Structure 1
Amino acid sequence: MSCKVLHICLSSGWGGLEMYPSRIIPELARQGWQSHGLALVGSRVAESFRLAGVEPLELLSKGRALLSVGRILGYLKAQGIGVVHCHKSSDLRLGALLVSLRPSLRLFFTDHMGVTRPKKDPYHRWAYGRVTRLFSISEATRQRNLAAFPLPPERIRRLYLGIDPAPYAPRLDDQERAALSQELGVPEGAVAIGLPGRLTPGKGQDVWVEALALLAEAQPNLAWQGVLIGGLTREEGSNEAHVATLRQRIAVLGLEPRITFTGFRRDLPRLFEALDVVCVPSRNEAFGLTVIEAMAASKAVIGSDSGAIPELLNNETGRLAVPEDPAAWAEALAELVADAELRRRLGQAARARVLADFTLAAHVTNLIEEYAA
């Protein structure tokens, strides 16, 4: 078979799901596979394909996708593409139709979100019945998928996401790191406690703020600075009402001098160099990409004891805390803020775990095995 794949992502949004195809395209190319893309005109997904070196086939709207089946089949034939990979459940109807009309195609679907309800009605039996392999990005989501999807267990595979660890290795010298800390509002000698991610209710920033208030009250002599990393507007993927609520609560708690809002940043690997502790208090992560990014940067990480995060972190590589319990987060923070050697030890073990289990190269190797099976 030809080593060519068409990634379908007809989304106008921008998050981990939408970023995934362009993240793996360079590694696919390195391992001998040529990628093509199908996206909406003017979407950030289409832009990301171009930045990854792929000129996408574009559609005006999701609603017109099924009307474009003939055009897409012609494109697949002309390009010699035998593999189709969908990344959004609503795109599966298009993928399933393509396979129904051309049975030689192999159809793959990655469940990036984690299904929340059964999908065993006649439509879903037809659509998922055309899927060669469904990828679950964690064991937590795989267990839900086994119960929800009309597929036998052997067609549902856990395939952990991965990252390129190289960009997360330290690059700044002491002077550059000090300047970055100053830019983030971290006083000299203070422990920087970061929380990266979209500012939305499900990401747990509210619990983190309450935990910092408890930490300040219980350990008044500890020097620390909270750093919230993420866009502040809807255009940057955040919930503006949630941002306003966070600011108001921080003011009420008297924490304004001790919590910095960085706004949207593209330099997260470098920001990690200015952080000492990274928190991921998300209530239900399907995987936890931010967790392994922080681990790759050799940071001490505290993650929620829920969703897939316990598959990434254990007591040797970080700490877990109940997602809705500020007191548990304050306790974990107090331990790490007070012990620099513990932070160093956890960070080293965390990076070693990423290098062993969560690299992009290994992820794509496993993906290609499925494409070519």
Structure 2
Amino acid sequence: MQHKVLHICLSRGWGGLEMYPARIIPELARQGWRTYVLALEGTRLAKTLVDGEAAEVCSVRSPTRALLQLPALVRWLRRIGIGVVHCHKSSDLRLGALLKRLCPELRLVFTDHMGVTRPKQDPYHRWVYRHVDRVLSISEATLTRNRQAFPLPPSRITLLYLGIDTADFVPQLDAAARQALRDALGIPRGAVTIALPGRLTPGKGQQVLLDAFRRLVEAGDHQSHLVLIGGLEADEGGNPTFIASLQQQIHEQGLGERVTFTGFRRDLARLFEVMDIVCVPSRNEAFGLTVIEAMAAGKAVVGADSGAIPELLDAGSGRLADPQDPAAWAATLSELRDAPALRERLGDAACRLVNARFTLAHHVTGLRAIYGDTA
């Protein structure tokens, strides 16, 4: 008989946290777990999961509505025979704790995707976390903070790195298709492409990378092209005010033909095939999913030397730079721009590293072991 787990993610956003259930559900199924999901009506997460491999997606209009439907949710859990509830937002733990209180046989798991920023020692959080069987930290950086912040013994806070299906990032395009994609993106032939994938928000580092790119151009760089990958609208994860500021700077600096905004894309793995250098200058990544995706694609990666990114890259597989120092980024990009053989060596090493440490199968095997403690 298959084990069964309910994932609760009552978020209206669309980032790594929200994408996580959809990403792991197929692998959970391959490893013998049947997955159910509770999400908000009309969200991108709910729409994505309806067409995915979840056994059932239950939608509610709001988190408050979910609380009001608590008796029905308890009956649903018991009828289906769900043994584990896995929450992904701290605000969803209130519902998870109530479910655990009414169904003591449940195992309640919480993944801290964001990295806690303040202590959770007040009476409310002590009550909530009393019902949590395991908190999963996605990096050593967050593990340290979590063990200081959460009202739990260290043994109930576990490190479990995220993972990806590296097969998705194996190159698939032939030379003609790659050139066609570059042309469609407005990348000049022969240009060295510098890419930053991620939400267009201040914390993701587009500003520091743009400042570094401007330094390259002012120093005489005529061959680099900057590509900013990410949604331009709020419902795609973008910050329209911030994006407008970037676009204004690009116009004022005369860089309009040197910078491409791709907008929201579903083909990131294919975009990586036409990029030469991938940058992740986020100041405080709790993990760095984009880093390992670019590594799996065999790209030369430059990451911020803060947060969890230094846990993913070393000197043999990539480069690190201060996320608040455009000059440091410009120097690192200049080094890689002029050294295609070095970019290839770093990309090859990065690909080997991610396949050894950060695969989806490895992550779900660890997750299944945690679920199975009492399942």
TM-score, normalising length: structure 1: 0.98
Kindly state the Cα deviation for residue 126 of structure 1 after the two structures are TM-superposed. Answer: 1.1
Measured in 2, the distance between the counterparts of 1:157 and 1:270 equals: 34
Measured in 2, the distance between the counterparts of 1:137 and 1:308 equals: 9
* Range 26-35 or range 41-50, more displaced: 41-50
**Cross-structure match for 1:244:** 244
* Range 346-355 or range 64-73, more displaced: 64-73
Maintained 8 Å contact 2:2/2:34: no
Residues 1-373 of structure 1: pairs in structure 2 closer than 5 A: 3-54=3-54, 55-218=56-219, 220-373=220-373
- Change over 3 Å in CA distance of 1:344–1:64 after alignment to 2: same
Measured in 2, the distance between the counterparts of 1:323 and 1:57 equals: 40
Maintained 8 Å contact 1:110/1:135: yes
Point out 4+ residue stretches in structure 1 off by more than 4 angstroms. Answer: none
Task: Say which SS state the counterpart of residue 65 (structure 1) adopts.
Answer: helix
Aligned partner letter, 2:23: R
Task: Say which SS state the counterpart of residue 323 (structure 1) adopts.
Answer: coil
**Alignment deviations for residues 61-92 of structure 1 (CA, whole Å, 9 cap, x no partner):** 11122221111110111101111100110010
Aligned partner letter, 2:143: R
Measured in 2, the distance between the counterparts of 1:91 and 1:236 equals: 22
Maintained 8 Å contact 1:322/1:328: yes
Measured in 2, the distance between the counterparts of 1:30 and 1:245 equals: 45
Kindly state the Cα deviation for residue 278 of structure 1 after the two structures are TM-superposed. Answer: 0.4
Measured in 2, the distance between the counterparts of 1:186 and 1:286 equals: 32
- Change over 3 Å in CA distance of 1:209–1:76 after alignment to 2: same
* Range 101-110 or range 48-57, more displaced: 48-57
Measured in 2, the distance between the counterparts of 1:249 and 1:201 equals: 14
Maintained 8 Å contact 1:192/1:225: yes
Kindly state the Cα deviation for residue 372 of structure 1 after the two structures are TM-superposed. Answer: 0.5
Maintained 8 Å contact 2:138/2:160: yes
Aligned partner letter, 2:184: E
Aligned partner letter, 1:204: G
**Alignment deviations for residues 291-337 of structure 1 (CA, whole Å, 9 cap, x no partner):** 00000000000011111111111111100000010000000000000
Measured in 2, the distance between the counterparts of 1:82 and 1:43 equals: 26
Q: Which runs of 5+ in 2 are unaligned?
A: none
Aligned partner letter, 2:149: A
Measured in 2, the distance between the counterparts of 1:271 and 1:2 equals: 37
Aligned partner letter, 2:239: N
Q: Which runs of 5+ in 1 are unaligned?
A: none
Measured in 1, the distance between the counterparts of 2:307 and 2:352 equals: 22
Kindly state the Cα deviation for residue 255 of structure 1 after the two structures are TM-superposed. Answer: 1.4
**Alignment deviations for residues 162-189 of structure 1 (CA, whole Å, 9 cap, x no partner):** 0000111111111111111111222121
Maintained 8 Å contact 1:222/1:337: no
Kindly state the Cα deviation for residue 53 of structure 1 after the two structures are TM-superposed. Answer: 2.7
Maintained 8 Å contact 1:106/1:132: yes
Kindly state the Cα deviation for residue 51 of structure 1 after the two structures are TM-superposed. Answer: 2.0
Measured in 2, the distance between the counterparts of 1:13 and 1:258 equals: 31
Measured in 1, the distance between the counterparts of 2:107 and 2:7 equals: 12
Kindly state the Cα deviation for residue 58 of structure 1 after the two structures are TM-superposed. Answer: 2.0
Measured in 1, the distance between the counterparts of 2:227 and 2:41 equals: 36
Measured in 2, the distance between the counterparts of 1:263 and 1:66 equals: 36
Maintained 8 Å contact 1:190/1:224: yes
Aligned residues: 372
Measured in 2, the distance between the counterparts of 1:236 and 1:221 equals: 32
Maintained 8 Å contact 1:299/1:350: yes
Aligned partner letter, 2:254: G
Aligned partner letter, 1:109: F
Maintained 8 Å contact 1:165/1:296: yes
Task: Say which SS state the counterpart of residue 260 (structure 2) adopts.
Answer: strand
Measured in 2, the distance between the counterparts of 1:261 and 1:43 equals: 24
Kindly state the Cα deviation for residue 230 of structure 1 after the two structures are TM-superposed. Answer: 1.0
Measured in 2, the distance between the counterparts of 1:254 and 1:32 equals: 55
What's the Cα RMSD here? 1.1
Maintained 8 Å contact 1:222/1:338: no
Maintained 8 Å contact 1:2/1:82: no
Measured in 1, the distance between the counterparts of 2:47 and 2:10 equals: 12
